[in-house]
Amino acid sequence: MIQQKDNTKVWFITGTSRGFGRVWTEAALKRGDKVAATARNLDSIADFKENYGENVLTIELDVTKPAQVNSAMNQAFDYFGKLDIVLNNAGYALVGTIEETKADDVKALYETNVFGPLAVIQAALPLLRKQGFGHIIGTSSNLGQVTLPVIGYYCSSKWAFEAIHESLAAEVAAFGIRVTMIEPGAYATEFGSQESLKAAEGMDIYADFKAEFVKGLGTMDRGNPHATPEALFQVVDSENPPLRFFLGDQCLPWVRKDFAERMATWEAWESVSNSAQSKLV
């Protein structure tokens, strides 16, 4: 166990080999925090140990293996003596229409995007309760609030992710544990790389539709991931952190428009909905 300063935060972060996970890990270390950095391949994060010494603990971790998750969490807690922030970041996208994507591909997506974070949460909670504080953070997406075609299963994994975290927040508040979902918009990370994206076997009938969709994605403005750490630090340093936090300037306008349309539809059908609520005699 290493000695801690009172104002030094200790992070446990999954998926630190690339993307937001790497950016946030390095930023936390640069500001003087300590990090248990996890990745499936230790070679991909070896530079953290070389550059930051005992302030970082690198751990091999596949979040789809619950026993490995429990071991990693306890190893981090024993090494640092506490865990202030548990950040679930590991995940990937699945490209394919609803019809053409095989069930096994969807199950694999959920193993990483839903059951993996769940294993991390369940491993962390006994330790956070024991110490009487902690902040569980999940990297969600603005697609946890709205959806797009062709990546509908990815969107669905984030909707499930958000429901789990919202329920969790109510369940653990009495233990001094806080919960936040980080919801990024489009950023220039490696999210579209072969390691972060899988594609279903295509059907010809959707080829043109998917080609147009991919073309549209290519024209989207993408934020700089290195501009995000200060916003994240404001969240983790807050006495009253939000349950949901949009990252970037694209999210709120899109969600505001989508929710307005939902409300308009519900209100237009309100009388029909109410007619189904007859009283029991």
Residues taking part in catalysis: 140, 154, 158
Length in residues, the chain:
281
CA–CA dist 191, 196 (Å, integer): 5
Tell me the angle at which helices 116-131 and 66-80 cross, rounded to the nearest 10 degrees.
Answer: 30
CA dihedral defined by 121, 60, 38, 250, rounded to 10 degrees? -90
Strands (E) across 30-126 are located at 34-39, 56-60, 85-88, 93-95
Element (H, E) at 109: helix 103-110
Judge residue 32's burial from the number of C-beta atoms within 10 Å of its C-beta, 0-12 exposed, 13-18 middle, 19 or more buried. exposed
DSSP state of 185: -
What are the C-alpha distances in Å from 270 to residues 207, 235, 259, 262, 264?
Answer: 39, 38, 16, 12, 10
DSSP state of 113: I
- The per-type count for the chain, helices as H runs and strands as E runs, is 10, 9
Kindly state the tokens that stand for 48. Answer: 């953290």
Kindly state the tokens that stand for 30. Answer: 């640069």
CA–CA dist 242, 237 (Å, integer): 11
CA–CA dist 79, 15 (Å, integer): 20
